[in-house]
Structure 1
Amino acid sequence: MAKILMKGNEAFGRAAIEAGCHYFFGYPITPQSELPEYLSRELPKVGGAFVQAESEVAAINMVYGAGGSGVRVMTSSSSPGVALKQEGITYCAGAEVPCVVLNVMRGGPGLGTIQPSQSDYYMSTKGGGNGDYRTPVFAPASVQEAVDMIIEAFDVADQYRTPVMVVADGMIGQMMEPVDFEKERKQRNLPAKDWASCGHQNKRKPNVINSLYLQSEELEKHNIKLEKKYKEIEENEVQYEMYKTEDADLVFVAYGTVSRIVKTTIESMRKEGYKVGLIRPKTLWPYPNEAFKKIPNAKNLLVVEMSLGQMIDDVKLACECKLPVHFYGRSGGMIPVPSDIAQKAKEIMGEVALGGAK
């Protein structure tokens, strides 16, 4: 299988096209601007449509309309842009309109910086819009994995009739890596889109895409229906990686680019005799709680993020507060380095190595 060297943002665009997405609505913002640039050039070649909307708010509502007609549709942005899209995302969740939202994260709050960050964890996993809803959230650690997850995100969106988010920090969007678009992927038996509002020629009753329920009883019934769907997603769509956790006394928890930095830390610490490993969530929601039941030797957990600790609460819930949960992070676009992570881990482990106390 031939691999192609591509910049992350452009590979994301090609992945969307490979997944059958021919409609994109967005607005430029660093560090993801190469993605809409790529799609503006490539979508017309496959009979698709690219629209640069007048704002992020307009873009997500165009997604709502296109997705409601049954086509595969995508939007992308970076942190403050996705914040503006949150109202439209909750409308899509409430109306059960499938779509994919890609967030190439940068530092915040507010306009923040154009440097990479992971400070949108809360917004992505806890719901940035109103109401009782959830969105599946994929967190790739490489350009190849981002491509795979974007393609899968469209399938998940169609299977469950829900918006799906893919969160990739700015480094993944800007780096260049070899990508294989021909690899085998999981095949899903997707339902027909007989719910779509796409014209009926008087052959059936019209389909209505709607999230407005004026009667409390109706809305509660709808919310219970959505909750049942979210429980099904929690049962079926969890993804994670266990890395050298079998004998680990300390287990790191990290996702995205930071997980790659942590793996470098683990290799160097293992050479010094430290028993350390990694739990890497590939889905931030549903969260891989089951992974934390598979680390019998662990005495400590160390969460590492490019934020000030937004994943800590989920880690505490996942381990049922049975282990001490520590944290090391950088924010504002600063990137953790292996030596600093190792120093924090050694402090927690009390400077105990294979050869005894240091």
Structure 2
Amino acid sequence: MSKVLMKGNEAVAKAAIEAGCKYFFGYPITPQNEIPEYMSRELPKIGGVFLQAESEVAAINMVYGAAGAGVRVMTSSSSPGIALKQEGISYIAGAELPAVIVNMMRGGPGLGGIQPSQADYFMCTRGGGNGDYRHVVYAPATLQEAVDMTMEAFEVADFYRIPVMVLGDGMIGQMMEPVEFRQPAKRQLEEKTWASVGTKMERKPNVINSLYLDAKELEDHNIRLEEKYNTIIKNETRHENYKTEDADIVFVAYGTTARIAKNAADALREEGIKAGVLRPITLWPFPERAFDELNCKAILTVEMSMGQMIEDVKLSVNGRLPVHFVGRSGGMVPEPKLIVEKAKEILGGAQ
């Protein structure tokens, strides 16, 4: 299969179509606008539907409706737009519907700026909507991963009946790299007998809902959801280790920041300092058990934010190792030199 040079946003959009997505509802916001632009041009060619909603709130509720009909559907946005969609994502999770959401993060808080950021970690891994719910969060570091994870997201969403988010920063959306479109391993998907598609007078209507007025009934629903989330933790947690076997210091970073951290680790090794990188690929479920295997002197969490993932790192380490932080915020990108200097400071202070 030949590779093609594509911009990240367009590659994600094409990947969604290749995965069987025929319905897209969204609203424009930088730096992800090429996704709806691509969808508006290509979906009608295959009999699909693109609709620019009047707002992000409207868009996510259209996704809710399409997901309830059992079709493969996607929306995309960036940071403030995803914040507006959080109520709808909670409804989709509560109703156990499959849907894919793409977030190309920008700087914040508030409207912030249009430069790349990773400051949506809390919002996207904790669930910014109400209630006890989770959704799978993929964090691609390359455009090929963005393509693969987008396609995999539709399989995972259908398999577990859960919303799945592909979380990239603005650089993932705007950079160009060669990609190929490979179908993921097909899961054994059940027929969507739950979908609300009309009865044809052959059965009772299917009701798509997340409302439970009886408290015990709602608790039973939450317990069943928690059991599903535990299954996802067991089966879908993913991470990458890069030169961590003999590392004295391990950088923990995700997305494009992990690529920068790898450069810093390589630079340190050229100076005789053993450094490695642990890269979470799923931010939820977070790869907690991966930290049990580390035998280093210190951990340095590297983020394109003021520090959010560091909380999950500290919980995973559970006091066994010192955890430090370095990062940039507001659309500023950490350079390898910043990471190298911080690592030397940490190791020098420990000697």
TM range (shorter): over 0.9
TM-score for both structures, normalised by structure 1:
0.97
Q: Distance in 1 between matches of 2:346 and 2:50?
A: 51
Which is worse superposed, 317-326 or 20-29? 317-326
Is 1:165 the counterpart of 2:165 in the alignment? yes
Is 1:316 the counterpart of 2:294 in the alignment? no
Aligned position for 1:151: 151
Following TM superposition, by how much is the alpha carbon of 1:186 offset from its aligned partner in structure 2, in angstroms? Answer: 2.3
Contact residue 19 and residue 183 of structure 2 kept, 8 A: no
Q: Distance in 2 between matches of 1:95 and 1:84?
A: 19
Contact residue 43 and residue 49 of structure 2 kept, 8 A: yes
Q: Distance in 2 between matches of 1:15 and 1:7?
A: 12
Counterpart residue type for residue 330 of structure 1:
R
Cα shift readout 1:270-307 (whole Å, capped 9, x = no counterpart):
000001101000000000011111212x1100000000
Counterpart residue type for residue 276 of structure 1:
A
Aligned position for 2:336: 338
Q: CA RMSD in A?
A: 1.0
Aligned position for 2:193: 194
Aligned position for 1:22: 22
Runs of 4+ in 1 over 3 A off after TM superposition: none
Counterpart residue type for residue 16 of structure 1:
A
Q: Distance in 1 between matches of 2:19 and 2:98?
A: 14
Q: Distance in 1 between matches of 2:183 and 2:229?
A: 27
Counterpart residue type for residue 304 of structure 1:
V
Q: Percent identity?
A: 68
Q: Distance in 2 between matches of 1:291 and 1:45?
A: 44
Q: Distance in 2 between matches of 1:148 and 1:190?
A: 19
Counterpart residue type for residue 123 of structure 1:
M
Aligned position for 1:299: 297
Aligned position for 1:124: 124
Cα shift readout 1:259-279 (whole Å, capped 9, x = no counterpart):
000111111110000011010
Cα shift readout 1:175-233 (whole Å, capped 9, x = no counterpart):
0000011x353221112111100111111111110001111111111111111110111
List runs of 5+ in structure 2 lacking aligned partners: none
Cα shift readout 1:16-40 (whole Å, capped 9, x = no counterpart):
0011000000000000001100000
Is 1:224 the counterpart of 2:186 in the alignment? no
Q: Distance in 2 between matches of 1:209 and 1:321?
A: 44
Is 1:66 the counterpart of 2:75 in the alignment? no
Counterpart residue type for residue 293 of structure 1:
D
Q: Distance in 2 between matches of 1:133 and 1:351?
A: 42
Within 5 A, what are the aligned runs for 1:343-354?
A: 343-350=341-348
Q: Distance in 2 between matches of 1:47 and 1:311?
A: 41
Aligned position for 2:105: 105
Q: Distance in 1 between matches of 2:67 and 2:82?
A: 18
List runs of 5+ in structure 1 lacking aligned partners: none
Aligned position for 2:284: 285
Cα shift readout 1:306-332 (whole Å, capped 9, x = no counterpart):
001100110011112210000001000
Cα shift readout 1:56-102 (whole Å, capped 9, x = no counterpart):
00000000000000000000000000000000000000001110000
What count of residue pairs does the alignment treat as equivalent?
A: 351
Aligned position for 1:241: 240
TM-score for both structures, normalised by structure 2:
0.99
- Which secondary structure state, in structure 2, belongs to the residue aligned with residue 350 of structure 1? helix
Counterpart residue type for residue 99 of structure 1:
A
Following TM superposition, by how much is the alpha carbon of 1:351 offset from its aligned partner in structure 2, in angstroms? Answer: 7.3
